[in-house]
Amino acid sequence: MEHDKTPAIVFDHVSVTRSGLNILDNVNATIPRGSWAVLIGPNGAGKTTLLLALLGEVNYRGRIELGGGKGLRIGYVPQKLNLDRGMPFTVAEFLAMGIQKRPLWLGISRSAREEAAHLLEMVHASHIMKRRVGTLSGGEMQRVLLALALQQKPELLVLDEPSAGVDFEGGRLFCELLEDLRATQGFTQIMVSHDLGMVAHHATCVICLKRRVVAQGAPQDVLTGPVLQSLFGMHMGLICAESHIHRAPTLAPFDPEAALPLTELRPLEQVRQECAEQEKHHV
Amino acid sequence: MFDISWLLSLASHFPLDGMDMRFMQQALLALVLLAPMTAALGVQVVHYRMAFFSDAVGHSAFAGVAVGLLLGIHPHVSMPLFGLGVGLAIMFMQRYSALPSDTVIGVVFSAVVAGGLAVVSRDNTIARDLQQFLYGDILTMTEADLCWLILLFAAFLLFQLLAFNPLLYAGTSGIIARAHRIRVALCEYCFAALLALVVMFSVWGVGVLLVTALLIVPAACARNLAQTAGGMFWWAILVSLSSAVAGLALSVQPWMGTATGATIILVSCAWFLVSVLVSASRNENRL
């Protein structure tokens, strides 16, 4: 792995004002190289704006330093794509348009096709190579967008709410995929997420944003009752979820590695609901 | 400018009555050059949602002629240059204004149409040309116009070779394309310039009212018929080229005697009906 000690991203007094409204106010944050950073916060907290500032899409005051001033190759995965769904446009072409110089109306070159297939393999979606982009489901589209970003061989992967529009299981699989890719490709990753359970499980660096940075650091240090109280203004807490460990079927030996972590963070209401459902199943 | 007589003599071999006449050869050559350009750019117009943009540029044709007459410039020079200016101005305002893009275009659209009408109402001698711009007349293309059209075609070909993929990338999502280091602004300005020039030349062919049809209808057919983005490009060209040639052939038949531009669009609309049927039957098979 890299031994470069300079942080991947430094936000230095970043402020964004739009129509006289402070959207971001003096944001200071540092994201170490190789980390999985997650921006959390309520709606309107400026999470997406901060990502857009990072991408250079909105004007901001202050300084954003990437890779110690040298800049980083960025791969960007948006929340969704506003695409004409009936448009004839295959997944192979979608990936090849960034790979090959030859215009697509002269066909996809063999090397571009191979690279596209390899990228799809990396995101476990080889089967959708020939499909039209417009016919993909939310989860499939997300993988294709991730493949497009990976084609950049990113040093920094930027994701805007990747679990929006994907069901719980799909979101979990996607996060595991990202975990694997980050380990093998060694990129730094920054994302916006509303899924606090996911954050507690995967993130190495959490930034709590509410126009300004409320707290930042490792999840166990940041995801505390008082921080979440001030961030979301409602009662949430870490729950020692011993009673909800999803045990493997009785025939297989119990594997604590495969089970969900002991500390998983969810709104109380959701936990109550899940407990009730589990009880129903046991009865 | 340069010798195109060999191209015209080539056109004279086309199996159609009246091809021995110079203006017919020129009209055919102009259509064969124009049709693939409008088709391919039309596909991108659909992808980029720029139909209103091309409409506004088309409607600036008359103002372009009027400005040319005021300044003593030949209309065939002032019109494309004015259209180019309008196209680039819209693109610039879209990028740097907080207004929604259709509002920007709507303002420019009104300005150019009003400007054209103001000049015409002052000087009635220009008004005689008005009909030509409304309905177009491909049969009035001169040899000099054709030379310019050939140069434009070369630029078009270069653009489609170099910028097709980046433009598709940018049209899919500007933010992703910029993050992935595609030169989106350069692509968009070149596209707007090329589109504006092609629209202006098309105004001579089919008139202001039908310019957008020339761009949109082949692209719409291709969307129904093609399975891939590359295929859509070729289908649009096939539809456009065949409609242009068939439209010209039909319009000069004594029993038709219709305006060439309108006939071309009618043929392409017939293509569209076929494409709808093909696409519907395909969907049935899928179910």
Residues of chain A in contact with residue B182, where contact means CB-CB under 8 angstroms, are 98
For residues A252 and A119, state if they share a domain: no
Q: How many residues does chain B have?
A: 287
For residues A133 and A172, state if they share a domain: yes
Contact B172 A94 (CB under 8 A): yes
- Start-end of H helices in B97-129: 101-122, 124-127
Residue A233 lies in a domain: no
Closest CA to B111 of B92, B134, B95, B90: B90
Look at the block and give the residue holding tokens 């084609």: A151
B183 close to A (CB below 8 A) = no
For residues A36 and A173, state if they share a domain: yes
| B79 alpha-carbon distance from chain centroid | 14
Residues of chain A in contact with residue B166, where contact means CB-CB under 8 angstroms, are 97
- Domain region containing B98: 5-204
Candidates A82, A104, A145; nearest CB to B165: A104
Residue A2 lies in a domain: no
Residue B230 lies in a domain: no
Residue B238 lies in a domain: no
Residue in chain A nearest B168 by alpha carbon: A97
Cβ–Cβ pairs < 8 A, chains A and B = 90
The number of distinct structural domains making up chain A is 2
B276 close to A (CB below 8 A) = no
For residues A152 and A68, state if they share a domain: yes
A109 close to B (CB below 8 A) = no
**Sign of the torsion angle spanned by Cα atoms B205, B210, B212, B217:** negative
Residue B135 lies in a domain: yes
Contacts of residues B253-257 at CB distance under 8 Å and 24 or more positions apart, as own/partner, are: B253/B17
Q: What is the maximum span of chain A, computed from C-alpha positions, in angstroms?
A: 62
The pLDDT tens digits along chain B (287 residues) read 788 888 888 888 888 878 888 888 999 999 999 999 999 999 999 988 888 999 999 999 888 888 888 888 888 889 899 999 999 999 999 888 888 888 999 999 999 999 888 887 887 776 666 777 777 788 778 888 899 999 999 999 999 999 999 999 999 999 999 999 999 999 999 999 999 999 999 988 888 888 999 999 999 999 999 999 999 999 999 999 999 999 999 998 889 888 888 999 999 999 999 999 999 998 755 54
pLDDT digits (tens, 9 = 90+) for B93-125: 988 888 888 899 999 999 999 988 888 788 777
For residues A48 and A183, state if they share a domain: yes
- Domain region containing A68: 9-222
B178 close to A (CB below 8 A) = yes
Q: B83 and B211 in contact (C-beta within 8 Å)?
A: no
Closest CA to B45 of B161, B209, B213, B273: B213
Contact B175 A57 (CB under 8 A): yes
Residue in chain B nearest A94 by alpha carbon: B169
Please indicate whether residue A58 or residue A271 has the higher confidence score (pLDDT).
A58
Residue A230 lies in a domain: no
Domain final residue, candidates A222, A251, A268: A222
Contact B179 A105 (CB under 8 A): no
Which regions of chain A does DSSP assign to beta strands (E)? 9-18, 21-31, 36-40, 61-66, 74-77, 156-160, 188-192, 205-210, 212-217, 239-240, 263-264
B233 close to A (CB below 8 A) = yes
For residues A263 and A144, state if they share a domain: no
Candidates A78, A82, A90; nearest CB to B228: A90
Q: A263 and A223 in contact (C-beta within 8 Å)?
A: no
Contact A88 B227 (CB under 8 A): yes
